[in-house]
Amino acid sequence: MSTTIQDPSKLKRAKIGIYTLSAVVPLVVAILFKVQIKGVDLSFLPPIYATINGVTAVTLVVSLIAIKQKNMNLHRALNRFALLLSLLFLALYVAYHMTSESTAYLGDYKTVYFFILISHIVLSVAVIPIVLFTYLFAWQGNYDRHKKWTRFAWPIWFYVATTGVVVYLMISPFYGK
């Protein structure tokens, strides 16, 4: 598998794909937030996508343990699963926000909440190219570069996954108010 991505034209296409996704995904999400579909009740989704974030975080921890134990096959499978979970989260998150009004945080810890929320949002945009390039390096068999990128990709991805759960737990008492 690693020889297929060594082809310079395939590598160039992969990089262009990563740059394109990294720009298009946040743009599409922002545009879709402006779309409001009335008459569809997806209010059951927030605990589901928060759980998906939690499972993603656990998957990343187990993946880290697997590679430290030199179990590359398990590590690879878990990272693919974490990518799939992140895509599923994104789809459900956008679907919910296209069908529901935004919920205001009415708690006592506004500064903490908004710090976590804003850092979560900013890093969720930044993590897209970081994780995809890290994955590309592994796919190429460039494990030295993959390992270097993982040193900052993993903590950012883990932070985004865990703060997604924290944001949900902080805002959930105010749904429907």
Residue 1 lies in a domain: no
Q: What's the pLDDT at 1?
A: 42
**What is the pTM assigned to this prediction?**
0.91
pLDDT digits (tens, 9 = 90+) for 56-83: 999 999 999 999 999 999 999 999 999 9
pLDDT digits (tens, 9 = 90+) for 1-35: 444 467 788 889 999 999 999 999 999 999 988 88
Q: What's the pLDDT at 93?
A: 94
Q: What's the pLDDT at 112?
A: 98
Residue 74 lies in a domain: yes
87: domain CATH number is 1.20.120
Separation between Cα atoms, residue 47 and residue 44, nearest integer Å: 7
Q: How confident is the model at residue 142 (pLDDT cuts 50, 70, 90)?
A: very high
Q: What's the pLDDT at 33?
A: 83
Residue 2 lies in a domain: no
Structural domains in the chain (count): 1
Separation between Cα atoms, residue 150 and residue 12, nearest integer Å: 21
Q: What is the mean pLDDT of the chain?
A: 94
Q: Give the structural domain span for 70.
A: 8-174
Residue 138 lies in a domain: yes
Residue 119 lies in a domain: yes
Q: What are phi and psi of 50, to 5 degrees?
A: -65, -40
Q: What's the pLDDT at 5?
A: 64
Find the DSSP H helices in 100-171: 110-140, 143-171
Tell me if 116 sits within 8 A of 163, measured CB to CB.
yes
Residue 157 lies in a domain: yes
Residue 61 lies in a domain: yes
Residue 66 lies in a domain: yes
Where residue 62 falls (left for φ over 0; alpha for ψ -120 to 50; beta otherwise) is alpha
Helix axes 143-171, 45-68, angle to 10 degrees: 150
How far, in whole angstroms, is CA 69 from its chain's centroid? Answer: 25
pLDDT digits (tens, 9 = 90+) for 88-135: 999 999 999 999 988 999 999 999 999 999 999 999 999 999 999 999
Q: What's the pLDDT at 2?
A: 43
Tell me if 129 sits within 8 A of 141, measured CB to CB.
no
Separation between Cα atoms, residue 67 and residue 168, nearest integer Å: 30
Stretch (H or E) spanning 37: none
Residue type, 108: D
